[in-house]
A and B are shown apart, each in its own frame.
Chain A
């Protein structure tokens, strides 16, 4: 069993005096750290703006603050502080948004960060990492903390699907699970729906459809090469994300294809332009059309439309 996020962060903080762990009274993923870090653990209370401004001040002094709060409040309440005090001066603050997207479960729309990726990738200098699961997150953390850029981390500690062993993390590189060079379908996934996407791929393969799964990992810097390669080698691209359709993965793929002069059939599985129905995680996933079978069905429909169009 690999280390948890909190254990990994503690190890990094122990090894490097510059690391300061901060939270706006959201300790869930870092509950064990306060007694271990003493004054290098700072809880500012329910003050996302103050926490981010303080982190900027600490970073000015050579520190590496890793700040935590619920993703909606951190990225939206404190957005201008992130943009102006962290992004503009490119300070090495690591912004960890917890329970983003579908992981907010039954909290309701106030807690549904479904535009956080769009917002944060829009800020110059800020990099964006959306881990697929706990293993993916923990493995990437050392490189992200060591990197001099500000980062937004869309926290996700869902367990990795059985049989998945992630490749080592490399900034700006997607992880590609290719079945063959000429896969029928590329399932391109950003973040927490990796598990459902992985299982959808298995369902499709059982129907004789060859599938590659692309775990995007970084929305910024974005791995355009992996997308362009998939566009030229696969019949259909499908993006999967627990994010609004605007500004997230689907937008990124569209931008990438146009920028590279590549045309490819592209379908999207996302929250569209609606907040999702609040419920416990598995129910919310089902209700939002993110279950493996719903994703597989969406792929089959798009493939069928594609072959009909080809026949015409």
Chain B
């Protein structure tokens, strides 16, 4: 990857993070999970997906589904930066007069399917991928799963079927940020060795640093070349809350409802300022 492209992606991802932080003001959002996949979503829309932002409904587009759902501020931030969503609409976050709420829904152009209940979108993506195959077209389907979501049996059930049907036009992307709600995955239901599990199920697996655009390029490139009648699995090692030192890798910072001052300080931090202090409380479900 050349420097110009890397710089462009870095700037795009920073802009996405700025939108995410703003959405954590007011009524709040799932800040940690959104920040962990901001680079992933940036890379996918800018580099990997066959996708034209000016024609998001095009027949030749690749499809991206957010199965984990909580990360939707990252998606909407990307949509704004791609010119698909008016920036002022993000100010309607949680307003009853718009459709920008805590989980994705198809009222927002570019959202392919709603989510919120975990463990659904892999099977939905398989249906889309199967249709692509029936039509003899080479579009692909990407499904972003959370690592906590991997507790759901339906994920593994669907993976069995995806492998049985050799859906090589399907790519599972795991945002491996190490947390589910307010606990580390390894402290509740351990997932490691995770790559081994996906290999055993029959996937073509690749594990990379999910915040390193060069690594993402290598990983997705590898999966593109080595389809070999198997669904691809990219495990993206990420940090929850990536970009804001005070909430990075913290179990208690799952859902954040920030004050205006905190939002301002975090925006400054994203622009290279000092690490912001965090005063507001957090939602703890466990």
Measured CB to CB, the residues of A under 8 A from B are: 39-40, 42, 44-45, 47, 49-63, 65, 80-81, 84-85, 88-89
Contact = CB atoms under 8 A, between A and B. Distances in A.
B160 A85 contact: no
Q: Which 5 A-B pairs have the closest CB atoms?
A: A57-B127, A53-B123, A61-B131, A54-B127, A58-B127
Given A39-B134, A84-B120, A89-B114, A58 B128 contact: yes
Interface in B83-142: 106, 112-114, 116-117, 119-134
Main secondary structure, interface of A, reads helix
Contacts of B125: 57
Nearest to B126: A54
A50 B158 contact: yes
Interface of B: 106, 112-114, 116-117, 119-134, 154, 157-158, 160-161, 164-165
A62 B134 CA distance: 12
Contact of A53 (B116, B122, B132, B165): B122
B161 A45 contact: yes
A56 B114 CA distance: 11
Nearest to B106: A89
Contacts of A81: 120, 123, 154
A88 B130 CA distance: 22
Given A47-B158, A63-B131, A80-B117, A54 B164 contact: no
A135 to B, nearest CB: 32
A87 to B, nearest CB: 12
A81 B164 CA distance: 21
Nearest to B133: A39
Given A50-B154, A53-B120, A44 B161 contact: yes
Nearest to A83: B117
B201 to A, nearest CB: 13
Given A81-B120, A89-B106, A50 B114 contact: no
Contacts of B113: 56-57, 60, 85, 89
A50 B161 contact: yes
A42 B130 contact: yes
Contacts of A85: 113, 120, 123-124
Contacts of A42: 130, 165
B137 to A, nearest CB: 11
Contact of A45 (B117, B124, B129, B164): B164
9 contacts: A39-B133, A45-B164, A53-B121, A53-B123, A53-B124, A53-B158, A57-B127, A81-B154, A84-B117
Contacts of A40: 134
Contact of B123 (A45, A54, A61, A89): A54
Contact of B157 (A47, A59, A84): A47
Contacts of B119: 49
Contacts of A49: 119, 123, 154, 157-158
B157 A58 contact: no
Nearest to B158: A50
Contacts of A47: 157-158, 160-161
Given A50-B154, A81-B120, A61 B127 contact: yes
A236 B134 CA distance: 55
B277 to A, nearest CB: 40
A63 B121 CA distance: 17
A33 B122 CA distance: 27
- Choose among B106, B113, B114 the residue with the greatest number of A CB atoms under 10 Å from its CB: B113
Given A53-B122, A56-B123, A80-B117, 5 more contacts: A49-B119, A53-B124, A57-B130, A60-B127, A61-B131
A53 B170 CA distance: 15
Contact of B130 (A45, A52, A58, A84): A58
